[in-house]
Structure formats: C-alpha cells, structure tokens
C-alpha cells in the first residue's frame, strides 16, 4: 500500500490523504483525470507519476516547473518511506509512505499425526454470530477533497 499526504506549506501537518492498494502507476497533477488532483497554478496538468517497478516505487517528474526532492530537481528518483516531494519550487509538498501489507499465515486444516479429531457431538455448541456483533452498524468515512482556486 502507498499513502500520499498533502502537507501544509508552513507546519508540514497533513491536510489531505490518499491511499492506493493496487495501482501500479499513480498520476498527480491539475487535470481531472489524475488519481490525485491538486489545484495550484505551478502544478502541471500531468506533473508527477509514482510508478511501481517490481516491488519498488519510483518518482517520475513530468511537470514543466519541475519536481523536487530535498531541494534538488529530479526527473527520476527512488521512493523511500517518508520521502517528501515538492511539485515545482514553490508548489505543494507530498509525503509518500510505503506500507507492506501483512500476509496472514496459512491455517493448516489437516489434523496432525497422532491427534484425534472431535466429532460434531463433542464440540461445544456456540452461535455463529454473537448478539453484540449483530447490533453494530458498519460505518464508512468519506473524504471530500477541497477545491483550491
């Protein structure tokens, strides 16, 4: 999973956040068909791509005003967890976070040698769904991006 945080220009707190699970290319720019749309006059319509190559990510700067990492103009740069990218010399800053998805270990359903399986009569009777879980209402959180003009 890759997460992008739009940082506040003065105190670097997160103003907005986007997460992507399976997209091999994430496009960022002013055009409406980008994955991340940033409304700033210094951001190009198609300013930046974050591409997955094998299991690593790379930044590809496409904008006419440049893409900066640590104050240096870059055309390509590897993505490391926590890297901060600035779109144009005075444009918005994005922090990129990489998260490995944890794979749950496989459960072996085969009985081990020397152990006996219990029959259904020997197993304790339990409801499949507890009453506590049926009273809970699923909740969803939606983030509506602000329009900058």
CATH number for position 89? 2.60.200.20
What residue numbers bound the domain in which 44 lies?
Answer: 2-98
Regarding pTM above 0.85, the answer is: no
Cβ atoms 47, 29 nearer than 8 A? yes
Instruction: Give pLDDT tens digits along the chain (149 positions).
Output: 899 999 998 888 999 999 998 889 999 999 999 999 999 999 999 999 999 988 899 999 999 999 999 999 999 999 999 999 999 999 999 999 998 655 555 666 665 565 555 555 565 555 444 444 444 444 444 444 555 55
In a domain, 117, yes or no: no
DSSP annotation of 44 reads: -
In a domain, 25, yes or no: yes
Instruction: Work out how many domains the chain is built from and give that number.
Output: 1
- Cα–Cα dist 30/149, whole Å: 11
Burial class (CB in 10 A: 0-12, 13-18, 19+), 48: buried
């Amino acid at each position: 999973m890759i997460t992008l945080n739009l940082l506040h220009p003065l105190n670097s707190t997160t103003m907005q956040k986007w997460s992507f699970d399976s997209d091999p290319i994430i496009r960022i720019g002013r055009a409406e068909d980008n994955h991340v749309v940033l409304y700033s006059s210094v951001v190009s319509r198609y300013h930046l791509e974050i591409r997955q190559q094998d299991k690593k990510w790379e930044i590809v700067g496409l904008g006419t005003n440049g893409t900066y990492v640590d104050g240096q103009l870059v055309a390509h740069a590897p993505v490391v967890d926590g890297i901060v990218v600035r779109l144009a010399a005075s444009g918005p800053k994005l922090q990129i976070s990489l998260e490995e998805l944890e794979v749950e270990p496989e459960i072996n359903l085969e009985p081990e040698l020397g152990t006996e399986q219990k029959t259904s009569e020997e197993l304790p009777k339990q409801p499949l769904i507890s009453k506590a879980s049926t009273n809970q209402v699923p909740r969803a959180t939606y983030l509506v991006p602000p329009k900058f003009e």
